[in-house]
Structure 1
Amino acid sequence: MTTPTRSAVSAFTGTRILFMRIVAVYRHAPALAAVTLAAPLGMMLLFGFVFGGALSGGADGAAYRSYLTPGVLVLVASMGLVVTASTVNADLHSGLTDRLRALPIHPVAMPAGLALAETVTGAVALAAMAGVGYLSGWRIDASATDVALAIVLLVAFRWALAWLGIVLGSAIRDEQMLQQLAPLIFGTIMLSNVFVPTETMPSVVATVAEWNPVSAVVAALRELFGSGTSVAPDASWPMQHPVAAAFGWTAVLIAVAIPIAVRRYSSSQ
């Protein structure tokens, strides 16, 4: 029987401790989770019930809300990017990050604990948003395998964005600049198929939107949940193969963000 190395034990233990720290913060300040849901819930109410009739071409508004819900789920996951970046930035300014660096903690433990906690709390927010979608008329018409794959994709995408948020929060040291960047991030998320099909957009805008990772994940969820729509013959590759594209984008984000995040937490800057 082999004995785990000290670094492996330190990484696991440190990740667990720092995970519990973030969970405790959310437990004692539930309003933080509510903020993550506020904007997507507002979008659901606005687009699903106020603009839904017009956007659906006068058809049944419930059908549009069923189309909209997978997009709003991705919106919830994507908004977590800003929350994670803000948490990292606050830890840097408070000096907590420097104090943790001074402890004998494995370098991967700090970002991994934060990413895991943000993903778990994000999953709770996604479950709540799915409940809102159900009350709005959204129904799943897919096999258990497809539903499980959709859940894995959604959680994996939130995990990838947690790591990307850690990179942004540690790279942008100015808190005001990070706050100014939030609308830009939100605009990038909106430049997608969350609310309307890309076929309705001008050709150049549609091309950009179709290659947006958010669009691939939204299209994949719609397909896996059984609420997908027909794809135009001239659509880009991510729209033709949304599931493969969504997992591919998620893998790329994870592969790029994790090494950068760990390296930044390992440094003394």
Structure 2
Amino acid sequence: MTATLPARVPSLLSATAITFGRIMSAYRHSPALLAVTLAAPAGMMLLFGFVFGGALSGDGDTAAYRSYLTPGVLVLVAAMGLAATASTANADMASGLTDRFRALPLPTVSIPAGLALAETLTGGLALLIMAGIGLAAGWRIDTGIGATTAAFALLLLFRFAIGWVGICLGVLIRDEQMLQQVAPLIFGTIMFSNVFVPTESMPGAVRAVAEWNPVSAIVAAARDLFGAPGTVAADAAWPLREPIAASLLWVAVILAVTVPVVLRQYGAVRRG
């Protein structure tokens, strides 16, 4: 009599790699998705850097303003991927792909983790392309390789956290049309930040919102690490005075809030 061996359950790492490969395959067959992710930030770089740059720079030094602007645009590239991630998670739920994944002996966390990692990788490619556009527009990195590497690592970490926010929205908002309406709200949240102008130029209440916006901390940290021009006002809120520490804290908070919600939703799908 032949003994029946128990089915081998994939490890968390291998299961995550399975879902990661599936997402990357979708991007390989739809390269236009990357172009869509870059379209809005590249357009804003041209609009604010070249059309409005003279007015926004104050002293008329548009080249210095573009150097100030580019790290903020890189953060936009990372943040704008949220909508694509939300759409992918929503489509997987609606099409039944998530149900097919749940039929496999995969750890629950591996499904959203694979999606978040794949989106982070494509986000990294988008960041490199956008950095090239910034360099062509006159942006220069004025720090060493260590600080530059840390800046891109922080941007990727932020992209990873934003990916979980997108997955959270995608699984909580099942109506595709309603999900599409969330994108303008996200863009509005980004605008209440220091991406385009310093927060000290804003009215009191708006300034307070902007300085505690997680995007502002990430932008300020990127500017510090890239050596971009500009100084932080002495009376600025803590996230702008200690942007790197604040950025890491914001990333931790985002993950602490979204990951349990996502896992609960995917677990509910499995039980359903």
For structure 2, list consecutive stretches of 5 or more residues without a partner in the other structure.
1-6
8 Å Cα contact 1:101/1:266 also seen in 2 = no
8 Å Cα contact 2:10/2:105 also seen in 1 = no
Deviation per residue, 1:14-59 (Å, 9 max, x gap): 2111111111111111000100000000000000010001111242
> TM-score if structure 2 supplies the norm length?
0.94
SS, match of residue 42 in structure 1: helix
Q: How many residues align?
A: 264
8 Å Cα contact 1:142/1:226 also seen in 2 = yes
Shift of 1:247: 1.1
In the alignment, is residue 155 of structure 1 matched against residue 156 of structure 2? yes
1:3 match: none
1:22 match: 23
Distance in 2, matches of 1:251 and 1:234, equals 25
> TM-score if structure 1 supplies the norm length?
0.95
Distance in 2, matches of 1:7 and 1:135, equals 51
Which one-letter code corresponds to 2:233 in the other structure? A
Runs of 4+ in 1 over 4 A off after TM superposition: none
2:209 match: 208
Shift of 1:66: 0.5
- List aligned pairs for 1:33-112, cutoff 5 A: 33-112=34-113
Which one-letter code corresponds to 1:153 in the other structure? L
2:128 match: 127
Shift of 1:213: 0.2
8 Å Cα contact 1:7/1:106 also seen in 2 = no
Distance in 1, matches of 2:58 and 2:108, equals 53
Cα distance change, pair 109–235 in 1 and its aligned pair in 2 (3 A): same
2:174 match: 173
Shift of 1:254: 1.6
Which one-letter code corresponds to 1:74 in the other structure? V
Which one-letter code corresponds to 1:19 in the other structure? F
Distance in 2, matches of 1:76 and 1:232, equals 26
Identity within the alignment, %: 64
Distance in 1, matches of 2:8 and 2:76, equals 37
Distance in 1, matches of 2:94 and 2:13, equals 26
Distance in 2, matches of 1:267 and 1:82, equals 23
8 Å Cα contact 2:9/2:105 also seen in 1 = no
Distance in 2, matches of 1:200 and 1:175, equals 38
Distance in 2, matches of 1:154 and 1:103, equals 33
8 Å Cα contact 2:90/2:171 also seen in 1 = yes
2:13 match: 12
Shift of 1:228: 4.2
Shift of 1:129: 0.3
Structure 1, 44-53 or 57-66: larger mean CA deviation: 57-66
Greater radius of gyration (CA): 2
Structure 1, 56-65 or 169-178: larger mean CA deviation: 56-65
